[in-house]
Amino acid sequence: MSAAKGVETLRYASGALELLDQRRLPQTIDYVACRNAAETAAAIRDMVVRGAPAIGCAAAYGVALEAMHLATQSRDRFAAGLEDGFTVLRESRPTAVNLFWALDRMRAAWKKSADAAPADVAQRLLDEAARLFREDLEVNHAIGRHGEALIPDGARVMTHCNAGALATAGHGTALGVIRSARDAGKRISVIANETRPYLQGARLTAWEMVQEGIPVTLITDNMAGHLMRTGRVDVVIVGADRIAANGDAANKIGTYTLAVLAARHGLPFYVAAPLSTIDLAIADGSGIPIEERDPAEVTGFRGVRWAPEGVSVANPAFDVTPAELVTAIVTEKGVVRAPYGQGLRALFGV
């Protein structure tokens, strides 16, 4: 599936997971090959691949690759090696629950075929990773279908970070809603927030929208309030990395600020995310682990340093938007509104 004009976010080819190197976009289109769990975990940690559902897909392939790597070992060595693979993948990034969801699913597939020979288990895990990837694509299209009904014709839609094809198996969550609205014949324009410090909005969302032919205006994050106050935004839609049982939603740092601004200006604030992003085991947003990233992401970019040596830096990569600021959560099973506790549980039939 294409992120943009034949460019795939991740693909499996000749015994390797090939990841579009998102650190180098939009200037360079290049792929990084991962052949085992450790290489895949490093690619996730270093942001070669990023975005909650894409991280989950990559981790699933990471498990399958590790299993293939160990396929000629004894059962005991296979099991021990695969456990190590799970561990290194679990430790790659903490916030997006899709990572842990995908690993749990791969573990369940492993346990189901635990009596089989290692080579057979490896093949089944590879099949499971491919299935998870295909399903994510279908899920994103379903999110798009449900979400586009919320977007009026002519809407100017603000989004933050990149919740697009690059962050998923394809189509995207928040950008999937925008794509589906455009495909439904609506005239949509996008306001992409730059998304400091890692610039996923400027580098990735703006690139996806330009490739797609959807009108997009890039702003720096601190312009959002001014645009809302001067009547130039109709809707805000973002993705999520983890949604707690009460509807509190963790997403890229700066999302909370946008939600507060949207409430202040009476604008709808939508979160688009698959069920694999919903973590019913966490009661509210205070339990969501927030990744703290390298200070170098704040003091400079791509080797250029603008902050003085010796300054202390905070770099939380995500923030939590309280459910009370979320107008609705768009999932592949439909649109959920407050009270979220009840609505989210109903999605899982519990």
**Type of residue at 323:** A
In the numeric block, the tokens 């990569």 are attached to 317
Pattern 181-200, ligand MRU, x by CB under 6 A: -------------------x
**Type of residue at 6:** G
With binding defined as CB under 6 A, does residue 146 bind ligand MRU?
A: no
With binding defined as CB under 6 A, does residue 94 bind ligand MRU?
A: no
With binding defined as CB under 6 A, does residue 10 bind ligand MRU?
A: no
With binding defined as CB under 6 A, does residue 205 bind ligand MRU?
A: no
**Which residues inside 34-63 make contact with ligand MRU, applying CB under 6 A?**
50-53
SS3 call for 238? strand
**Type of residue at 7:** V
Going by C-alpha positions, the residue among 158, 166, 138 that lies closest to residue 276 is 138
Contact residue for ligand MRU among 17, 59, 167, 344 (CB under 6 A):
167
DSSP for 205-217? IHHHHHHHT--EE
With binding defined as CB under 6 A, does residue 9 bind ligand MRU?
A: no
The minimum distance between CB 49 and ligand MRU, in angstroms, equals 9
With binding defined as CB under 6 A, does residue 278 bind ligand MRU?
A: no
Contact residue for ligand MRU among 19, 216, 252, 340 (CB under 6 A):
252
With binding defined as CB under 6 A, does residue 201 bind ligand MRU?
A: no
The minimum distance between CB 82 and ligand MRU, in angstroms, equals 25
With binding defined as CB under 6 A, does residue 251 bind ligand MRU?
A: yes
- Are 319 and 286 in contact by the 8 Å Cβ rule? The answer is no
> Using CA of residue 284, residue 171, residue 227, residue 339, what is the dihedral sign?
negative
The minimum distance between CB 73 and ligand MRU, in angstroms, equals 33
> Of 69 and 171, which has the nearer Cβ to ligand MRU?
171
> Of 110 and 133, which has the nearer Cβ to ligand MRU?
133
Contact residue for ligand MRU among 10, 20, 161, 336 (CB under 6 A):
161
**Which residues inside 280-319 make contact with ligand MRU, applying CB under 6 A?**
317
Strands 334-336 and 156-159: unpaired
SS3 call for 299? helix
The residues that are catalytic are: 241
Q: How far apart are CA 112 and CA 124, in angstroms?
A: 10
Q: How far apart are CA 166 and CA 22, in angstroms?
A: 8
For residue 2, the tally of other CB atoms under 10 A from its CB is 13
Q: Which two tokens stand for residue 156?
A: 């100017």
With binding defined as CB under 6 A, does residue 239 bind ligand MRU?
A: yes
Per the DSSP assignment, residues forming a β-bridge with 252 are 318
Residues that bind ligand MRU (CB under 6 A): 50-53, 96, 161, 163, 167-168, 173, 200, 239-241, 251-252, 317
